Amino acid sequence: MRAGHSKRVTPPGPLVIIGGHEHKRRDREILERFARLCGGRGAAVAVLGVASERPRAVEEAYRPALEDLGLRVAFLELADRPAAQDEAAARRVEEADGLFFTGGDQLRITSLLGGTRVDAAVRARWQAGAPLAGTSAGASALSSTMIVGGDGDATPARNTIEMAPGLGLLPNSVIDQHFAQRGRIGRLLSALAQNPAVLGIGVDEDTAFIVGADGVCEVAGSRTVTVLDGTQVSATNASELGGDEALAVTDMRLHVLPAGWRFDLHRRRPLPPERAGRS
């Protein structure tokens, strides 16, 4: 490399964090946005069904929806770690214009993929600029910390949730999905009470939080995204509790953002919709 010249760094692709149950036939705004990010008609997408124990049913749901949008679909079941080490499977990821993690169990994603050829290929394609979407469990796996279990209806307490490391593509975050529909604010509060530095992101069904390379996210879809910011928390008793004792947490910041609203991850500030014609 010549002196004075630096290598151009390609920003990673957008993350499309979907709360689950996105529309696949009519009013399918989220899948249409994903298709456009991939390059539109003719683009190749690798759909990773690793989270599901019923991959055929998942394929039957997503293949026709994505092909109807003009995408060429390569579906990867990846039922075990040897399948995720397969060179041909990794090559299909490397050749894709976009990547899509389906729903199921987020712990299957991390435990079956972690450290494999397919895992390395996914990270390389995303780092090279390919969009990466995850729905339901596929959304939860994208954060640095995953909620892998917990009763959404329970009073927030230390044992309300079970957590594990995620893929870490969205650092310093914990993502929950089916958020309002399954009453999961209590378990997201429990997660942040135990580590207030982490940003909590709760995504409703048929809703997406689209993360750009500049750290500005946009809400799309028919419902809302709830963002919890614990950096200003003044008190929490999380370290003092027994398993089922009620949680105390004060001065937690909460934002509820509908479609068109944005959120700046670096400044941790909500941003109103951009107005047409604004300079």
What would the pLDDT profile of 226-248 be if each residue is shown by its tens digit?
999 999 999 999 888 776 788 89
The residue assigned the tokens 């124990």 is 53
User: Cα separation of 84 and 229, whole Å?
Assistant: 35
Tokens at 133, concatenated: 């979407």
Instruction: Return the CATH architecture of domain 15-263.
Output: 3-Layer(aba) Sandwich (3.40)
Q: Which of 215-224, 254-263, 270-279 has the lowest mean pLDDT?
A: 270-279
Give the pLDDT of residue 185: 94
Contact yes or no for 90/64 (Cβ under 8 A)? no
**Which residues have a Cβ under 8 Å from the Cβ of 138 and sit 6 or more positions away?**
18, 48, 51, 100, 101, 102, 103, 104, 106, 109
pTM above 0.75, yes or no: yes
Find the Cα–Cα–Cα–Cα dihedral 155, 161, 167, 173, rounded to 10°: 30
Tokens at 14, concatenated: 């957008």
pLDDT value at 2 more than 70: no
The CB density around residue 115, as the number of other CB atoms within 10 Å, is 10
Question: Angle at the Cα of 105 (from 154 to 144), degrees rounded to 5?
Answer: 80
Which sequence positions are flagged as catalytic?
Answer: 136, 178, 205
Tokens at 52, concatenated: 């599901």
Q: Which of 6-15, 82-91, 228-237 has the lowest mean pLDDT?
A: 6-15
Name the pLDDT band for 278 (thresholds 50, 70, 90): very low
